[in-house]
C-alpha cells in the first residue's frame, strides 16, 4: 500500500542536510513504500542525493534557503513560516502536498508553526508533545506532555490521556493501554487538585456502562516507576514531563559513562569487559536514544514529528518510520473517534462531580 509522502525539513538538526537525507535514505531502504518531499537548499539536497539513488527516485525537492535557528524565539520564527524549510514542510501538510512532516529543528518554533498552520482538532484545547521511552519490558512507554505546554488543567490531562492511549495502541499494539498520571505518590489524596480531578474524570469515563474509553486508567505513578514497563502511557503537564524526560536521559548517560569508566580502569576490568560485551552491547542498544527517536505533536489536524536535533541517520530513519506508522494507522482519525466516545460531559472541571454522576449520586454531591 502506498502512503502519502512525508515532508522532511532537510535543514533542521545539528548537522542538517547530510544526516536528514541519509536518514530518509535509510528509511527508504527499509520500507520502499515511503515517498518524500525534501525541503531546503536545493543544491545541497541534490548533492546529498547523489549517494542515494533509491531515495532520489522517490523524492521531490522544494527549494528554500531560509532556516529557523536553533535558539530562535518561536514568536520570531513564526513570522517566517512561509520562507523557512520548517514552515514550508508543515505547510505541505496543511495543503495536502504531504501527509506528515518531520523536522529536527527548533522544538518551540515547530510547535508554534504546526499549531498555527494545522490548528487543534475539535475537542482538543492544547496539543501535546508525546514520545516513546524504553522500559524493562518488551514494549516502550508513551509519555506526554513533554514540553508543548508548561501548565495543564484537569481537562487538558484527560485529553492527553485519550491521545496518548491512541498513540500507544498504534506503536505498541495494546487494545486498552494502561494509563497513569505522573504524581508525587500513588495515594488518591496526593498531588494537585488538577491531578485529583483528572483522575476522577478518567475513572468515571472508564467505568461507564457503554465500555467507556479504549484505555485502562490505573491512578497515579511516581517518576521512578516510569521505565518499569507496568504503565503503557504516562500523562503529565509539559513542565513536569520535560524535567522527568531530561532526568531519565541524564541517568541513562550516567550509567553508560560509568560503565565505560569502570571497564577501562584496569587490565582486569578490560578483560571483564570482553567477557561481558554481549550484555553491555544489549544495554547500549536499549539506551540509545536513536532507537526511540521521534516525538509527536498530538492533537493537531495533521501529523508532525519532531526528531532530536542530535539524532544520527539511524535516529532520523526511526522518526520517519514512526511517522509512516502513524499515517498508516490513521492517528488523527483514531483520536477523533476516542474523543467522541469521551463526550463533553466527561470533561467537567469538577472531576469529583463526574465521578458522582457515574455512580448515580449526582444530587447528593451537588
Answer whether residue 294 is part of any domain: yes
Answer whether residue 305 is part of any domain: no
Low-confidence ranges of the chain (pLDDT < 50): 349-366
- Are residues 17 and 138 located together in one domain of the fold? no
42's CB contacts (< 8 A; 6+ apart) are 61, 63
Domain that holds residue 352: 121-300+312-366
Answer whether residue 254 is part of any domain: yes
Read off the pLDDT of residues 46-88 as tens digits, 9 standing for 90 and up.
999 998 998 998 999 999 989 998 888 988 989 999 999 999 9
- Are residues 156 and 259 located together in one domain of the fold? yes
Asked whether the bond before 322 is cis by omega within 30 degrees of 0, the reply is no
Answer whether residue 114 is part of any domain: yes
- Are residues 323 and 224 located together in one domain of the fold? yes
- Are residues 141 and 213 located together in one domain of the fold? yes
CA-nearest of 253, 259, 263, 321 to 289 is: 253
Q: Could you give the number of structural domains in the chain?
A: 2
How far lies 219's CA from each of 3, 101, 124, 234, 324, in Å? 38, 34, 22, 10, 32
- Are residues 104 and 150 located together in one domain of the fold? no
Answer whether residue 357 is part of any domain: yes
- Are residues 200 and 346 located together in one domain of the fold? yes
Q: In this predicted structure, what is the pLDDT of residue 338?
A: 87
Cβ atoms 70, 39 nearer than 8 A: no
237's CB contacts (< 8 A; 6+ apart) are 145, 149, 150, 151, 152, 156, 157
Domain boundary (99, 118, 137) is at 118
Answer whether residue 108 is part of any domain: yes
Strands, E assignment, 207-313: 216-221, 233-235, 295-298, 303-306
Domain boundary (118, 143, 166) is at 118
Residue 130 CA to residue 199 CA, distance in Å, equals 20
Give the full edge-to-edge strand order of the sheet including 233-235.
Answer: 59-63, 36-40, 6-9, 100-103, 303-306, 295-298, 128-133, 141-144, 233-235, 178-182, 216-221
- Are residues 43 and 127 located together in one domain of the fold? no
- State the pairing for strand pair 303-306/141-144: unpaired
Cβ atoms 317, 30 nearer than 8 A: yes
- Are residues 19 and 163 located together in one domain of the fold? no
Answer whether residue 307 is part of any domain: no
Give the position of cell 505541505: 92
The CATH number of residue 23's host domain is 3.40.718.10
The predicted model scores a pTM of: 0.82
- Are residues 110 and 150 located together in one domain of the fold? no
Q: In this predicted structure, what is the pLDDT of residue 179?
A: 95
- Are residues 195 and 333 located together in one domain of the fold? yes
Q: In this predicted structure, what is the pLDDT of residue 345?
A: 57
Domain boundary (98, 118, 138) is at 118
CA-nearest of 200, 199, 157, 161 to 177 is: 161
- Are residues 258 and 130 located together in one domain of the fold? yes
- Are residues 60 and 75 located together in one domain of the fold? yes
Answer whether residue 355 is part of any domain: yes
Amino acid at each position: 500500500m502506498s502512503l502519502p509522502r512525508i515532508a522532511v525539513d532537510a535543514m533542521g538538526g545539528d548537522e542538517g542536510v547530510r544526516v536528514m537525507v541519509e536518514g530518509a535514505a535509510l528509511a527508504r531502504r527499509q520500507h520502499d513504500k515511503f515517498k518524500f518531499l525534501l525541503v531546503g537548499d536545493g543544491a545541497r539536497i541534490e548533492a546529498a542525493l547523489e549517494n542515494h539513488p533509491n531515495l532520489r527516485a522517490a523524492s521531490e525537492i522544494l527549494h528554500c534557503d531560509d532556516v529557523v535557528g536553533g535558539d530562535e524565539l518561536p514568536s520570531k520564527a513564526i513570522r517566517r513560516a512561509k520562507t523557512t524549510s520548517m514552515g514550508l514542510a508543515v505547510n505541505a501538510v496543511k495543503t495536502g502536498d504531504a501527509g506528515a512532516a518531520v523536522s529536527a529543528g527548533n522544538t518551540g518554533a515547530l510547535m508554534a508553526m504546526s499549531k498555527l498552520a494545522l490548528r487543534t482538532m475539535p475537542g482538543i484545547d492544547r496539543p501535546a508533545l508525546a514520545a516513546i521511552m524504553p522500559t524493562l519490558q518488551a514494549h516502550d512507554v508513551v509519555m506526554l506532555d513533554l514540553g508543548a505546554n508548561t501548565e495543564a488543567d484537569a481537562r487538558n490531562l484527560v485529553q492527553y490521556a485519550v491521545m496518548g492511549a491512541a498513540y500507544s495502541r498504534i506503536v505498541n499494539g495494546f487494545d486498552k493501554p494502561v494509563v497513569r498520571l505522573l504524581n508525587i505518590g500513588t495515594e488518591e489524596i496526593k498531588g494537585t487538585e488538577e491531578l485529583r480531578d483528572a483522575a476522577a474524570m478518567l475513572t468515571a469515563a472508564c467505568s461507564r456502562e457503554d465500555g467507556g474509553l479504549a484505555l485502562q486508567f490505573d491512578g497515579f505513578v511516581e517518576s521512578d516507576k516510569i521505565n518499569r514497563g507496568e504503565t503503557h502511557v504516562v500523562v503529565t503537564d509539559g513542565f513536569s514531563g520535560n524535567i522527568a524526560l531530561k532526568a531519565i536521559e541524564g541517568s541513562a548517560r550516567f550509567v553508560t559513562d560509568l560503565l565505560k569508566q569502570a571497564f577501562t580502569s584496569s587490565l582486569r576490568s578490560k578483560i571483564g569487559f570482553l567477557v561481558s560485551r554481549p550484555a553491555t552491547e544489549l544495554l547500549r542498544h536499549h539506551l540509545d536514544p536513536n532507537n526511540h527517536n521521534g516525538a509527536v505533536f498530538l492533537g493537531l489536524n495533521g501529523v508532525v514529528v519532531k526528531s532530536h536535533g542530535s539524532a544520527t541517520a539511524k535516529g532520523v530513519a526511526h522518526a520517519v518510520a514512526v511517522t509512516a506508522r502513524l499515517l498508516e494507522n490513521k492517528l488523527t482519525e483514531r483520536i477523533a473517534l476516542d474523543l467522541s466516545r469521551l463526550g463533553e460531559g466527561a470533561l467537567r472541571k469538577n472531576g469529583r462531580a463526574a465521578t458522582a454522576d457515574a455512580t448515580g449520586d449526582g444530587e447528593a454531591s451537588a
